[in-house]
Structure 1
Amino acid sequence: MSYSQDEQLLKKILESIITSTPGLKHAIIIDETGITLLSQSKFQFSDENESVEKIGAIGGAVFSAGEEQGQLLGYGGIKLQITEYDKGMLYGIKTGKGILCLATDTNVQMGFIRATLKKWAPKISKILTRYLQTDQEGINEELKELFKTDGLGF
């Protein structure tokens, strides 16, 4: 499959997730560093200081901290992380080389959200592995082109 086909599949999955139940606000796929790769939202942000990228970065940091905590306690890796705030919840699940984050209202059905995350994580993981590999190949080609001899001896 091509890069664009993988991207389209991931977008369709996010669309399916975000429309699956009331209370879901944002579905975000981030890489392991917290950079947002793709997202789908039901709502636009009213505050210019808020963004999907910030949610993704925070979700990645919270997930990474939780992984470290699990290792320190001898619990192993995270299967699913749920962070409950006063006005919403943030869910995260590992998807191979990335993390699927869902931002929700507080009154969502947690069992349904858990089932949704567990249903889609393996599928996203498989696609994301190809998607990021294709991306890396493109970056490698661009770097080769950038450092190619230009005839001036540089």
Structure 2
Amino acid sequence: MNVASRITVIGVGNEYRRDDGVGWAVVARLAERAEQEPLPHGTALRVCDGEPARLIGLWEGAELAVVVDAAHAHPASPGRVHRLELAGDRLTPPGGTTSSHGLGLGEAVGLARALDRLPRHLVVYAVEGADGSLGTGLSAPVAAVVTPLAERIAEDITLLRRPR
């Protein structure tokens, strides 16, 4: 496999902090889906705690990296999904949405840019959460978006992989 043609989907978060585990849940759903409908050759499904150096290591060399993470927004709308793409030199969340982690994706993007380790194409899905307390299981509004988001990501991968 040519490293430059690699696709990586990364679920970011902590599955023991309720809605912060949405990225992991979407990756698990994609893995289940792939058993029936395989993803394009070279697609890797990974999970990460969101630490910037680990994120960079997972997406390094990828043609396409898709990151799914929980987000906080004010005002909040639990279950709302934001789709962000790296545009120019910025990955700017709309409406004040931020990662649920101390160091967010913006910091990882900035560091990767400085180290020349950005993927060729980066798409981020940020899902607004309702509950970041300790424990397992997603809140109802966040759980409701897992399957549709997994389907949307599978469609994105297929569309973005078509020859131009």
Q: Which has more radius of gyration?
A: 1
Q: Please indicate, yes or no, whether the TM-score normalized by the shorter chain is above 0.5.
A: no
In which range does the TM-score fall when normalised by the shorter chain? under 0.3
Q: TM-score, normalised by structure 1?
A: 0.26
